[in-house]
Structure 1
């Protein structure tokens, strides 16, 4: 299975963090991963790539890294169009400035490797058969997105320099927040969770979608227990606080409009898809509010059923059962 960041989603106030974190990290905080061993391998291709001098060297590089090329660029390694594209990339002065900025931002990647090691240890604690994906970093001049599969993770580092980058990915401002270094590992883990997130393929309801996203975020919270919730759900602090304090109103909108069992994809996308705001609820309601609401339901489910393990949660494909046993009704109290 392979996922790209744009297809999925991807600094919190003390008030919200205290409330949300208290119920969603209980199991993770009790996990001892000190005896779990993992092998995290990061192959840096941006450096040899940007040192290539001509098209013949580029062709040789692509042939040598066929799996990377076919996965990341989704084209054969001998594609002449890709050779021309990379030749322009490598020799463009402005692009080189972005590359130098990338190198300064990420350095030797030791901190990123440590983050992945910690996350992979937690996954392996819950799933002993987990096989660590190979990690490749590269430089693509903002032409490609992060790619995550069960066996391979490809990170175009320049996309995650952050707000001080000379150039930034071509996405709306409300989506750019997640294109920063602290979001890399949480985004990757959330995408990896899909392997373990069992679903009922016959359940096409919005509720099923909410629970799916809720389970994904709960998985990430358990695997990266010390990361702010804002990095998991990719919301600004203000949006998290507003969503938390207005969840009664948000919930009422879903109930009054009979949305939980809606199956129309166009309507469902208004609540789980990328938008600056969900205007149907209000101008202050952030996009993807359904994903956040699903996390609230799943968190409540775990609070009401403390003996349910993370593995058991992820294996439960019955969205209605999780919802009913959560006893969630838009409450802020836990």
Structure 2
């Protein structure tokens, strides 16, 4: 079954964005007030501090004082000579120094990033009062490493999120590169943080279970960043999101016709969950990770059909089949 070519593909960007906002606003959300919630939020600019280090002794001293950071981000110890050699090269090479200046100028004082993290952390604390804000650290690695999210630490290599105008970019195909831009930083962090609260049944290895897991992760991120567009949360271009929304009856029909919901073969599941430019088994217009998107639709419908279920209730529910059955989802566009 192929996804049909839709007229909506040719609509103007303005109408498309209006539609996406309507989709987002129609989803189940809880009306909450975070104005009285305080969070501790400071960003350590290790990018600035480290790029001033030019000798081995300076670098070794910095790494020794920040052992936890080295363990989490570099996955090694502060006395790793290979790491010190690499940092020496980055900090003293004219090309990488110029690249850092481009990064520093692009990001400025990080005010926008701080504000979005503050919104997200306040929302997390509303739902989970015991939430302890992780330390946020920014770095510069000359594209050596990527975003790292741990319970107590978030490390952001700023240069990986410079966007399409950057002189150098991460070595990924175009369909992945779009998310290496500033607007994707906080949504990416929140989707990873969601794992801490996302209960799963370790004995359920079905595609349905995986789909619902991803759906709960995106629903969590949407709740913590209520003003952020769905296209940024799931990293689909607006074009793909609109088109997929309108074709979901056909996508759903493919999953049902091919009995995929309770598939347990990892190779088959990967076709619908993993990063791919297109899921050609369904159609040339079907974006990768379609199973993740479909899982989000199921979870969103579940919340719509069961308004008394809070976000915390949802995240604690490890029964994917229960969520699916109570969602009453059958590929319908209406939310």
Equivalent position of 2:149 in the other structure:
148
Secondary structure in 2 matching 1:99:
helix
- Post-superposition shift, 1:17? 2.8
Native 8 Å contact 1:276 1:286 kept in 2? yes
Is 1:15 the counterpart of 2:16? The answer is no
Superposition map of 1:84-163 within 5 A? 84-163=85-164
For 1:289 and 1:184, the matched residues in 2 are separated by 22
Shift of 1:114: 1.1
Taking the TM superposition and a 5 Å limit, the aligned residue runs for 1:1-334 are: 13-24=17-28, 26-27=29-30, 30-334=31-335
Q: How big is the shift at 1:92?
A: 1.5
Contact kept? 1:138, 1:155, Cα under 8 Å: yes
**Secondary structure in 2 aligned to 1:252?**
helix
- 8 Å contact 1:16–1:244 — kept in the other structure? no
Structure 1, residues 273-315: CA drift from partner, whole Å, max 9, x if none?
0100001001110000111100000000000000100000000
The whole-number CA distance in structure 2 between the counterparts of 1:72 and 1:300 is 38
In 1: Cα distance, 2:324 partner to 2:268 partner:
20
Residue deviations 1:202-261 (CA, integer Å, cap 9, x gap): 000000000000000001111100000011000001100111011011001100000000
Structure 2 unpaired stretches of 5+: 1-12
Q: CA deviation at 1:61?
A: 1.3
Partner of 1:7: none
Q: Which moved more, 1:127-136 or 1:50-59?
A: 50-59
Structure 1 window deviating more from structure 2 (50-59 vs 225-234): it is 50-59
1:13 aligns to what SS in structure 2? helix
- Equivalent residue of 1:155, what SS? strand
The answer on whether the counterparts of 2:34 and 2:123 sit within 8 Å (CA) in structure 1 is: yes
SS at match of 2:137: strand
CA distance in 1, matches of 2:23, 2:237: 17
User: In structure 1, what is the Cα distance between the partners aligned to 2:85 and 2:36?
Assistant: 48
RMSD over aligned Cα, in angstroms? 1.0
Q: How many residues align?
A: 321
Return the offset for 1:88: 0.7
- Deviation, structure 1 residue 101: 0.9
Structure 2 CA distance, aligned partners of 1:309 and 1:161? 36
Cα drift, residue 181 of structure 1: 0.6
For structure 1, the residue ranges without an aligned partner over 5 or more in a row are 1-10
SS at match of 1:199: coil
Cα distance, 1:23 vs structure 2:
1.7
User: Which segments of structure 1 move beyond 2 Å, counting only runs of 4 or more?
Assistant: none
| Comparing 207-216 and 107-116, the one that deviates more | 107-116
Residue 163 of structure 2 contacts residue 182 of structure 2 at CA under 8 Å; is this kept in 1?
yes
Q: Say whether the 8 Å CA contact 1:46–1:137 is kept in structure 2.
A: yes
TM (norm. structure 1) is 0.94
CA distance in 2 between counterparts of 1:261 and 1:17 reads 32
Equivalent position SS for 1:332: coil
SS at match of 2:27: helix
